Each structure stands twice: as structure tokens, then as C-alpha cells.
Structure 1
Amino acid sequence: MSSEYRLSRRAFVFASVSMTATLAGCAATTSSARRAPLPEKVSLPIGPPTDAELQARYAALEDGSHLIPAIPYQKMDPKYFRQRVADPTGETPGTVVVDTPGRFLYVVEPGGTAMRYGVGIGRDGFAWQGEGIIHWRQHWPRWKPPAEMIVRQPHLERYSIENGGMEPGIKNPLGARALYIFQNGQDTLYRLHGTPEWDSIGKATSSGCVRLVNQDVLDLYTRVPYHAPIVVHQEPLVPVSAV
């Protein structure tokens, strides 16, 4: 067999192998692409938390230099536990919705769900409603009661704006976090804030602000950015499915 023939045959075999490998590679790529799953809409789990989740969720914790006591959640109405639910608001994801009559606060999520928190709300005659934005957020805020409140409760004068307010701390009425609501560029004096008074959740006791247990306001703070829209309802919230 001539050397020229051997070289030609070797070149043919090499070319055949290379073409086969190339075709196999294309076939594998095409087949893999055909088998690729289609994107699915993200669906977050809905339902009440387990007891183990509640123990972790409402346990004592240290935040900065402050020790937040555990919440005796067994004494709370279970409907006020922080939990993910089907969104009843119909608002755009990222919107905060306060259902004043229901004593709930929702953070609307993509995919048709919302994180729901139990809240305490303002007494009749001291409640705000409407649309606004979260214009300011604060870790362990100082409490500075407005002049109108001091007129009603003169003993609060020592915590006035002029006197620098109340030092941050576990006994501060604004708790571990505060989110300040503005409307048309003006402070509404309406806040979402923490409270050490866990037994006020589900009740109308504060002067117009929405209060959450400190463990819940810490969670809320991570979900609500600056300038997030907020809607506060004073009428019963009608679920979207019922409209």
C-alpha cells in the first residue's frame, strides 16, 4: 500500500470522526434545548407558620446594643402572626397596605402573595388614611411627640422636639425601627413602628400610628425600601377575588 494512499485514508477517517463528533455535539445541544423546562411563575409558600417557626420568629434577640425580649406568642391571636398569604389588595408588588379595620399590614409580593403582619392602630379620631410614600426609615429612633399630643398629655413635654425627644431603647414607644409616611412632600406624622407592647396588637390604642411587635418591624424594615408606596384604608378591605 502506497504511503500516499495511507495518508489519504487516514485523513478521510479523521475527517469522518470529526464530523461525527461535531454532529453529535449539535444533536446533544439541540436535544438539551428541547428538554429545557419552560420558565415558571414563582410561587411562594402560603400558610400559617409552624410552632418551630414561631419559636424562632419571636425569640429574644440582640439588635445593636439592645436586647429585644421574646414575644409570648402563645398569648396572641394566631391570625396576627406574621405569615405569607394570598394577596387580597390588588396593589403593585412592593406596595405597603394597611387594613385598619382588619388590624393587618401587607407588603405585596410578586406572584400573587403578600407578607401579612398583625398591627395595633390608632384610636378613633386619631387615624390617618390615604396614599403616601415611605420617605424616611430609622434604626432605633428617638421619639418626639408632636405638639398636639403634648397638649393632650402635658407630661410628655420632656420628650418634645425642643428637648431632644426620648432616647432610643426597648422602652421607647417607636421600638426598634420606624418608617415615616409622607404625602405630597409633607410629613403626615403617621408612622409604622415597633413596640414593646405585644398585647396591643389587634387593638386600637395608639395616637394614629401603626405598631408592630419589634420582631415583626425588623422583618418589615428589610422588605420596605425608601419611597415605597403605601396605602392606608379606614374602610374594610375587600379582597380582590371578591370584587
Structure 2
Amino acid sequence: MTIRSFVTAAGLALVVALAGCTSTSFRVFTSDYGSKRDAGYSLPSIPISKVPRKYHRQIVRYDTKEKPGTIIVDTSDKFLYFVMPEGKAMRYGIGVGREGFEWSGTARIAAKREWPVWTPPAAMIKRQPELAKYAGGMPPGLNNALGARALYLHNKRGDTGYRLHGTPEWASIGRAMSSGCIRMINQDVIDLYDRTDIGAKVIVK
């Protein structure tokens, strides 16, 4: 082998090695979107093949100074990160606020609810009068707008009105369609709910 050939081969080997080192995904949970029983409800399976793979729940490399247990919401890329030890995070695909309803800031998880009641705000009812029938609350269930779980966000001024919540509208993941809340596939919000503590820091950017 000539010196030039050796250098070329060594260079290719280095590129391959570096490519392996920069892989960000450690495990993808594509098989976790099947039907399941939960608190008496039959949660339907998600046609996960129709959801882009990048939005499937997965453990990824994630460098941050925030402590484990912190939630970081990237509204631009439509990802939610639950910070884990050793430079890793559980990453979920999300839906975010549509134009005019975007927001950012720091909050905390003040409350957690399984199969919550959804009460549309007065401003939403004004925009969508057909929601007036739920002014007293939409009962929990498979068609409830908050889905299987809701995490309630508060800041120094109190309730922000925003939630991290499930949705029956799985096709909205990866899109900007909500009124500001962060939407998740029901199977994903159940997973996040079980990992998250009351008082956890939430950063939305």
C-alpha cells in the first residue's frame, strides 16, 4: 500500500469512527405505541408509522447545565426533553402553539392529573362558540382535549394557563396547531407523567 493510499484509508476510517461517536440516539421506543388499558380506559394504538421517526420517543445525547428531572421544550424543532443523568435525555415529539399563540419562559409543574377534565378558557369560547357547551368542563375520556394526562404549569404570577398534555389528535405532533399548550401523544404523556415530579422546572424556548 502506498503512503497516499494508507492516508486515504486512515482518513475514511476516522470519518466512520467519528460518525459513530456523534450518533445522538441511544434507543427508540417505536414499539411502545400500541393499545393499552389505563385507569379503566382502552387507549387506542397509534399508527406510529405515519409519525416521522424523529418524533418517536427516544433516549438521546443532550448536553445541558440543567439538572436531571428538568423539562426543556424546543418549540422550533417540536421536541420536549426530559433531562436524565450522564448527558442524556428522553426526547418526545410535540405539537406547539400556532401563529399568534406562541410563548416562551420558565415555569414549574404545580399539579399533575390523570384523565383530567378540560375547561376551555373564556377567550377560547369567544373564538369558538361551539365550545360553550364545555364551559363547565369537558368530562375525561378518549376524546378529551387534554388526553390521558396533564401537567399544569405555574410561574411566579401563578397559573400560566398552559399545560403539557396528551391529545387524541396524534397527527398534530410536529405541527403548530394548539392555542399555546404543548401537545403529546397519549402514550408519551403517560411516560413523561410517570417520570416527572411536582415542582419540576420547565423551560420553554
Partner Cα distance (1:91, 1:176) in 2: 27
Matched, 1:224 2:196: yes
Matched, 1:171 2:143: yes
Residue matched to 2:45: 70
Match 2:93 to one of 118, 125, 128: 118
Q: Between Structure 1 and Structure 2, which shows a larger proportion of strand residues?
A: 2
Computed over aligned residues only, the root mean square deviation of the Cα atoms, in angstroms, reads 1.3
Question: TM (normalized to structure 2)?
Answer: 0.86
Matched, 1:85 2:60: yes
Partner Cα distance (1:89, 1:190) in 2: 24
Identity of aligned residues (%): 51
Question: TM (normalized to structure 1)?
Answer: 0.72
Q: Between Structure 1 and Structure 2, which shows a larger proportion of helix residues?
A: 1
Matched, 1:47 2:26: yes
Q: Is the contact made by 1:128 and 1:190 (CA closer than 8 Å) also made in structure 2?
A: no
Deviation at 1:94, TM superposition (A): 1.1
Structure 1 counterpart of 2:140, which letter? P
Structure 1 counterpart of 2:65, which letter? G
**Structure possessing the higher radius of gyration over alpha carbons:** 1
Partner Cα distance (1:168, 1:145) in 2: 13
Q: Counterpart of 1:74 in 2: which secondary structure?
A: helix
Q: Counterpart of 1:111 in 2: which secondary structure?
A: coil
Partner Cα distance (1:188, 1:88) in 2: 28
* 1:1-243 superposed matches below 5 A: 46-49=25-28, 53-55=29-31, 57-160=32-135, 163=136, 165-233=137-205
Structure 1 counterpart of 2:109, which letter? I
Partner Cα distance (2:109, 2:138) in 1: 22
Deviation at 1:92, TM superposition (A): 1.7
Q: Counterpart of 2:26 in 1: which secondary structure?
A: coil
Partner Cα distance (2:139, 2:167) in 1: 14
Partner Cα distance (1:96, 1:76) in 2: 22
Deviation at 1:87, TM superposition (A): 1.1
Q: Counterpart of 1:47 in 2: which secondary structure?
A: strand
Q: Is the contact made by 2:83 and 2:89 (CA closer than 8 Å) also made in structure 1?
A: yes
Partner Cα distance (1:54, 1:140) in 2: 23
Q: Is the contact made by 2:108 and 2:154 (CA closer than 8 Å) also made in structure 1?
A: yes
Deviation at 1:85, TM superposition (A): 0.5
- Residues 55-88 of structure 1: per-residue CA shift (max 9 Å, x gap): 2x00100101111110111111000000000114
Of residues 137-146 and 87-96 in structure 1, the stretch that sits farther from structure 2 once superposed is 87-96
Partner Cα distance (1:71, 1:48) in 2: 19
Residue matched to 2:19: none
Structure 2 counterpart of 1:167, which letter? P
Structure 1 counterpart of 2:186, which letter? N
Deviation at 1:128, TM superposition (A): 2.1
Partner Cα distance (2:65, 2:153) in 1: 21
